[in-house]
Structure 1
Amino acid sequence: MTSNNWTKDQQYLSFVSDLLDRPEVQKLNNYKQHHATTRLNHCISVSYKSYLIAKNLGLNAKAVARAGLLHDLFYYDWRTTKFMEGSHAWVHPQMAYQNALKLTDLSDLEKDIIVKHMWLATLALPRYKESYVVTCVDKYCAISEYSSGKAESFKQFLKSIPQRLSLNHY
């Protein structure tokens, strides 16, 4: 995550600090997400950006912040783990919802945000405006994180070219 503004936003912290303090949420720091970040940083980024948008639109910023933080609350590498029940896009929102229920009570709105955040990759149509906000921000963050990871890899490759040329020089 490029910005730590969320660490200074007292209202945001009042909404999510109880969740951020949980070891089950901190455990997300052990998993890579979209090549350039950890799953925890991805979830915080989605949560905070969604919170800011919801706040500016007069939507339920608290539900958005909390559900955004919990939307990817699962503990496996989605690039290698496969399920009989379906694709990662279909399975992980249900898994995140079940894991979130173990940490806190969830409103119908928060459930909808978590379970339907993969809309467009799945057919689960969101019911609330807040769900669309988190869905769109999640896609934006995923593309941004993936792109920055690929850009960094490309920079490293470009830096290695002179060395590669001198090793292959006859």
Structure 2
Amino acid sequence: MQPAISLLKSAQEQMEAISADAQTATASPADLQAQISLLQQNLTLLSAPKGIALSSGEHLQMSASDNLIATAGKNADVSVAKNFFIGVGNTLSIFVRKLGMKLIANQGSITVQAQNDLMELLARKAITITSTEDEIKITAKKRITLNAGGSYITLDENRIGSSQERRGNI
């Protein structure tokens, strides 16, 4: 029993560190209190020193009325042969501590939408938008404004306007 408790406490410490970093980066952190309170309650503990496998010929369902928590000391891999759906009632927060993030579609397009609110892209360094074989289109109903170094260009239905801190050519 003690080895299993030690593994759970180690997982909790790992999640505390990642959640603290996520909160610093303004991402939504994990619900650590749920994890801590779970370890202090009467529960069924399934443990094995080398691993546990679950298998089903058709369906496998996990359900919890409050929290579903998964922690891995190294890797977590999910492979799905057809469709993968994530439905969230309130907030989806994805946080990466060190080596970045990739979203790649080998075939088909990628669509990102904020259907009823603002969309923001923020980077400390450069943002690059590249079309390797076609054009780049930027469309707005009211206005497009490009700002850089104190100067700006505004395009709207009536005019193309600009302002420059220093004189120069457009």
> Do these two structures clear the TM 0.5 threshold for a shared fold by scoring above it?
no
More helix by share: 1
More strand by share: 2
Q: TM-score, normalised to structure 1's length?
A: 0.30
Which of 1 and 2 has greater Rg? Answer: 2
